[in-house]
Structure 1
Amino acid sequence: MKNRTITALLIIFTTYCGISQDFQGNATYESKTQVNMDFGNRQMPEDRKKEIMERMKKANERTYELAFNATESIYEEVEKLDQPGNDRGGRGGRFGAMGGAGGDLYKNIKDEKYLVKNDLFGKIFLIEDNLEKLDWKLESDTKQIGNYTAFKATAVKTVKRPNMRAIFRRRGENNKEEEENKEEEFTEKEVSIVAWYTPEIPINQGPSGYWGLPGLILAVSDDVTTIVCSKITMNPKDKIEIKAPSKGKKVTQAEYDEISREKMKEMRENFQNRRGGPGGRGGGRL
């Protein structure tokens, strides 16, 4: 196992050093996320729950394209005709556990930076931050993905997950007990990441925020999401233009996350007030 890994790394290193700056390609990825929703104590007809689950499932089956060269990449969602209202989002600006970006995700491996341009309720933000480095463990397992031989790698990653019980909880009277016992709407947990990369395409790029392996990542999965490459075009006839986003208010990821949380909290409170909920003026529905 160790000898095979070292040999593969030597091959990659030798090849990678000779890559031309004109080296480029496109990779198409299919992303699927499992939906496990807990509606808590909220009373809801079963057909309504089923409808919500089906819509969530469909929304979490997406197609992305990764355009890459020797040092840069752009990861963007492919718009579907049956989803005209697709907002390309759902992650609050973070390419999160694995899912899609709120905007096109630009990665610069040389500088170890990423950029995402996001529209948050009509205001444009440019999120710029350092790429997360995972402590990849290279394994000896291999498998065929399309025309490429892929090697296995594993890592552990801390992710934020939405707490559906808290998000969908029915709010009662605005009392001290509820405030003390309310659950966080997002929770952190450690998850195992399994990736499959191919030394035959010697760049350390990959889908979503993943990178850092000696070869293009063709497949990657965590506890809820699986992303698999379905098509690769190397050195296409028409040159690929990879441009980093440049417009918007510059913020770090942490700053954007806080702005997003505050905005969502404000919207939720306004919605409750309009419905005559806790703190509302109406005290009841008209």
Structure 2
Amino acid sequence: MKKIIISCLLVTAFCNAQNISNGTITYIVSQKKDHVEQLKEKAKTSESAQRVLDLYEMAEDVTAILHFTAQEAIYKAQESLKNEADKTIVNFTYPMAGGRTIYYNNTIENINASDVSGEYIRVIQEKQEWQLVNETKQIGKYTCFKAIQTNSNRSKVKPIAWYTLDIPLPFGPKGFNGLPGLILEIEEKVYVFKATKIELNSTDFEPIEQPTKGKKITYAEWRERTKNFFTK
């Protein structure tokens, strides 16, 4: 019976894919409330923790956009008007939402394009590996399934994705990809990406432009270049 149910889901997903020509998803990127609460506890006895807390409390939610077709997708965080008007304000959420990096995916490559120390480069990301979990939740009208990224090196807390087979395309926010359905929510250690608006099959959808500016390098080459800026 379980095999029959899975087969039915896959057939339904395939049929759904045939009916989707393009889409745009708006995500809201925000801090986890429990992270701020933990900082508040540390700040009671630590001045450095209080300074970090002050920065997090000044941070604001960030809007980010994912445009996709059946073959490719592109994601970019939107800069807030407040930060554009006052460059002295540091919004901690913005760089974690993706900052000025352009995240591009197609059926062959997953590329992050950005300015690194004055040089614009395109980094080919490594393939993401996922553990599919038998757990679901509802996001809007979509039933979503849980997956955990097992090869993430960002932190000890592995990213959790919630994807839907109703839109069976392997894309998501901030370059997350490779699942059997579109990712509507990502939970990282400190931040959450939540889809708040989904538009499908728009008649005025503009073609996606793949980033071509700058040198293309592998993820290993990028790690070597930036090894003095972070630790594994």
- Normalising by the residue count of structure 1, what TM-score does the alignment of the two structures yield? 0.64
CA deviation map 1:210-259 (0-9, x unaligned)? 22222211112133332111111112231222111111122222222332
Q: Tell me the equivalent position of 1:225.
A: 191
SS in 1 for 2:224: helix
CA–CA distance in 1 between the matches of 2:25 and 2:64?
8
| DSSP 3-state at the match of 2:225 | helix
The 2-side partners of 1:159 and 1:57 are apart by 26
SS at match of 1:255: helix
**Letter of the structure 2 residue corresponding to residue 114 of structure 1:** N
Alignment of 1:266-277 (within 5 A): none
- Structure 1 partner of 2:141: 147
Superposed displacement of residue 207, structure 1: 1.2
Tell me if structure 1 keeps the 8 A contact 2:30–2:193: yes
Conservation of the 8 A alpha-carbon contact between 1:9 and 1:214: no
Write the distance in 2 (CA, Å) between the matches of 1:214 and 1:65: 20
Contact 2:28/2:64 (CA < 8 Å) preserved in 1? yes
The alpha carbon displacement at 1:261 in A equals: 3.7
Counterpart contact for 2:128–2:149, Cα < 8 Å: no
Per the alignment, residue 83 of structure 2 pairs with 83
The aligned residue for residue 12 of structure 1 is 13
Report how far residue 13 of structure 1 moved: 2.7
* Structural mapping, 1:32-51, within 5 Å: 32-33=30-31, 34=35, 46=47, 49-51=49-51
TM-superposed CA distance for 1:107, in Å, is 0.8
Aligned letter for 1:127?
A: V
CA distance in 1 between counterparts of 2:225 and 2:58 reads 28
- Give the secondary-structure state (helix, strand or coil) at the position aligned to 2:150: strand
8 Å Cα contact 1:24-1:69 kept in structure 2: yes
Cα separation, 2, equivalents of 1:200 and 1:149: 8
SS at match of 1:136: strand
Indicate the SS of the match to 1:160. coil
Q: How does 1:161-240 map to 2 (within 5 A)?
A: 161=155, 189=156, 191-240=157-206
Aligned-residue RMSD, C-alpha:
3.2
Match in the other structure for 1:64:
64
Distance 1:235 1:15 in 2: 12
Partners of 2:104 and 2:170 in 1: how far apart? 14
Question: 1:249/1:204 Cα in 2 relative to 1: closer, same or farther (>3 Å)?
Answer: closer
Q: Based on CA coordinates, which of the two structures has the bigger radius of gyration?
A: 1
Aligned length: 217
CA contact (8 A) 1:29 1:227 kept: yes
Measure, in 2, the Cα distance between the counterparts of 1:156 and 1:128: 19
CA–CA distance in 1 between the matches of 2:165 and 2:122? 33
Q: For residues 89 and 102 of structure 1, do their structure 2 counterparts lie closer, same or farther at Cα, with a shift above 3 Å needed?
A: farther
Is residue 31–residue 228 contact of structure 1 (8 Å, CA) maintained in 2? yes
> Is 1:242 aligned to residue 219 of structure 2?
no
The secondary structure found in structure 2 opposite 1:107 is strand
- Does the 8 Å CA contact 1:5/1:138 hold for their aligned counterparts? no
Higher helix share: 2
Distance in 1 (CA, whole Å) between partners of 2:184 and 2:222 is: 30
Alpha-carbon spacing, 1:222–1:156, altered in 2? closer, same or farther (3 Å): farther
* Structure 2 unmatched runs, 5+: none
* Structure 2 residue 131 is matched with structure 1 residue 136: yes
1:244 partner SS: coil
